[in-house]
Chains A and B, each alone.
Chain A
Amino acid sequence: MMNIHAKAILIPDDNVDTDVLYPGKYLNVLDPQEAKAHLFEGLDPKLRDLLKEGDTVLFVGENFGSGSSREQPATAMAASGVRAVLGKSFARIFARNCVNAGMPAYRNANAVLAVKQGDDIEIDIATGLVTVSGQAFPSEQMQPLPKEILAAGGMVPWVKENLDKE
């Protein structure tokens, strides 16, 4: 169990693409600390202000993160204190990038419908079980492999562990 308390940030729109999450002109910015300054720029830059205090969890709509393979949306979120993203559904590459960044993306439509902007929530990062206003919402479980990568803390530590075993 890895229960944490976090503030909910709600982005209810469907089909939020990675171009609005992180515009293409900043693809030459590699450092997530620097990339943070451009997160959400095409969507609503004010969302960045909600990320300034402590741990947060994003609650998002259908097909979140569609489009480009750019990893900055996921790494800039993780660098900004986002601990998990719970969505109705995700685009494939974005969900992979989240797992690889050690910040899980869980399918959990009921939680998205139940949460309100700024709610204090509790979440088990390892399983995605989230409690909103006293009510528990289990997330759809991941396959063993991405689970293992998450448990290791992301792709870098996971590859390191695997190379050490060899």
Chain B
Amino acid sequence: MAQTLVQKIMSRHLDGRDVVPGEAVMLPIDVVLGNDASINGAIAVLKNMGVERVFDPAKVVTVADHFAPAKDVKSAILLHTMKQWADQQAVKHYGLGKGGIEHTVLIEEGWIVPGSVIAGGDSHTCTYGALGAFGTGVGISDLACCLALGEFWQVVPETIQVVFKGNKRAFVTGKDLILSVLAVLGVSGATGAVLEFTGEGAEALSIDERMAVSNMAVEAGSETGFFPADQITADYLEGRTTKPWSAERSDADAEIIRTVHIDLDTINPLIALPHSPGNVAEVREARGRKIHQVYIGNCANGTMTDLRQAAGVLKGKKVHPDIRMIVVPASQRIWRQADQEGLLNIFAEAGAAVSMPTCGACFGGHNGVMGPGERALTTTNRNFKGRMGSAEAEVYIANAYVAAASAVAGEIVEPQQVADHMEVA
């Protein structure tokens, strides 16, 4: 039987039996992830199930990121309880100053290999598709089920292929690629399916940019967004993991329910306008709109690639006096690397505030929440009404070049308006 990549992964986890799209199976997991906003709920559910020990401590990871550092007493209790529980269960815990934002951390630290199955108590667990893994988000009941049984119920998805052909233009990044996909599929066009990114334009992307693309697969309703593993994946994983893996892809004659063709030679920097990630326009269509805060970070675009892009624009320039700019390196490793490369200093000199890694303001938690009537330009993944705080605030999503250039201009601009003479990475 010709199989898609997702069928192959699931079949292998089910002792080789064939699976068909639409069928619900109990899918064994290789890694289960919880953060401070999800694991505590799961611990309570686990207790109600009468389960005292997790199924396999070596496969469980916990990360302090959503409300870390603690924004209030309630959050302090959650962070403390999570750490205590992790110690008691002997599962891995990445605390403040030792990890960062969960999805970046798990990829950097070698937890994720191609072909593995990861259930995470966070919808952006789909980021692991960047390494050809089936990572998918679940709620706290499913998370508890994973901790108890080592498996979760999952409907075998269909596959939608996205073919990126050609070469990216200047100032176009992974962010623009996924926004171009959302412009076609909308916010529910991939429900019940996985996305599979192929073509020369996909193969040319670095792991950082693949992460940016896969991260927002869920914004199209998709379960995950795969980049089939290749040499770039292998090079990235070299020295990072000891887990065995092999490269897999969909059979040429496997059933693909839809193919989306994107010609990169025609794509300009894009922006998601309020209040939906599917509300995509070219940046020039939003040009001149005044903004109050620029936020570079989150599990989508807080990588070294993003920080280098932003620093390239900001070097020797100043953030506009009316703008608050916040830079959130996604992990402790990235923070240190950015420090070594002098990027943090470039941000500070330009008048931006550099934060510790945290999910923070991306979900309206803390560390840069928006007030009524304010506009944010961010590199994050969601701009739903009220997402970053006030329901009367507006959130615009774009790449790090656009964010940095707009921070200098004080309004939304195309990067070349600010960065005419900079070298494009």
Answer yes or no: are A and B bound together in one complex.
Answer: yes
Q: A144-B24, A155-B45 are in contact. Are A97 and B141 (CB under 8 A)?
A: yes
State whether A91 touches B191 (Cβ < 8 A): yes
State whether A154 touches B187 (Cβ < 8 A): no
State whether A69 touches B139 (Cβ < 8 A): yes
State whether B41 touches A71 (Cβ < 8 A): yes
Interface residues of A in 141-159 (CB under 8 A from B): 143-146, 149, 154-156, 159
State whether A149 touches B153 (Cβ < 8 A): yes
State whether A154 touches B221 (Cβ < 8 A): no
* Among A63, A101, A143, A149, contact of B191 (Cβ-Cβ < 8 Å): A63
State whether B78 touches A28 (Cβ < 8 A): yes
Chain A contacts for B145, CB-based, 8 A: 100, 155, 159
Q: A20-B385, A28-B67 are in contact. Are A156 and B48 (CB under 8 A)?
A: yes
State whether A66 touches B221 (Cβ < 8 A): yes
Total contacting residues, chain A, CB less than 8 A? 41
Q: Does B267 contact A (CB under 8 A)?
A: no
Q: A25-B364, A71-B41, A92-B221 are in contact. Are A163 and B50 (CB under 8 A)?
A: yes
Interface residues of B in 104-157 (CB under 8 A from A): 120-123, 125, 137-142, 144-145, 148-149, 153, 155
Q: Does A68 contact B (CB under 8 A)?
A: yes
Q: Does A23 contact B (CB under 8 A)?
A: yes
Q: Which of A20, A28, A68, A144 has the most CB of B within 10 A?
A: A28
Report the separation of the CA atoms of residues A68 and B380 in the bound assembly, to the nearest whole angstrom.
Answer: 13
Q: Does B22 contact A (CB under 8 A)?
A: yes
Q: Does B206 contact A (CB under 8 A)?
A: no
Interface residues of B in 382-413 (CB under 8 A from A): 382, 384-387, 389, 391
State whether B153 touches A23 (Cβ < 8 A): no
Q: A25-B365, A28-B37, A89-B191 are in contact. Are A145 and B137 (CB under 8 A)?
A: no
* Among B50, B138, B386, contact of A69 (Cβ-Cβ < 8 Å): B138
State whether B74 touches A71 (Cβ < 8 A): no
State whether A30 touches B41 (Cβ < 8 A): yes
Residue of A nearest to B22 (CB): A143
Interface residues of A in 49-100 (CB under 8 A from B): 62-63, 66-71, 74, 89, 91-93, 96-97, 100
State whether B123 touches A67 (Cβ < 8 A): yes
Chain B contacts for A28, CB-based, 8 A: 37, 67, 72, 74-75, 78
Interface residues of A in 29-51 (CB under 8 A from B): 29-30, 42
* Among B23, B25, B276, B365, contact of A24 (Cβ-Cβ < 8 Å): B365
* Among A24, A62, A70, contact of B387 (Cβ-Cβ < 8 Å): A24
Report the separation of the CA atoms of residues A66 and B277 in the bound assembly, to the nearest whole angstrom.
Answer: 11
Q: Does B201 contact A (CB under 8 A)?
A: no
Q: Does B103 contact A (CB under 8 A)?
A: no
State whether A159 touches B144 (Cβ < 8 A): yes
Q: Does A27 contact B (CB under 8 A)?
A: yes
State whether A162 touches B385 (Cβ < 8 A): no
Pick 17 A–B contacts, CB within 8 A, sort by A.
A19-B382, A25-B369, A27-B66, A27-B363, A62-B188, A67-B384, A69-B123, A69-B125, A91-B191, A97-B139, A145-B24, A145-B153, A155-B144, A159-B49, A160-B49, A160-B50, A163-B148
Name 15 extra pairs, CB < 8 A, besides A27-B365, A63-B221, A97-B142: A15-B188, A23-B386, A24-B364, A29-B74, A68-B363, A69-B38, A89-B188, A91-B188, A96-B138, A101-B141, A143-B22, A143-B155, A144-B24, A155-B45, A155-B145
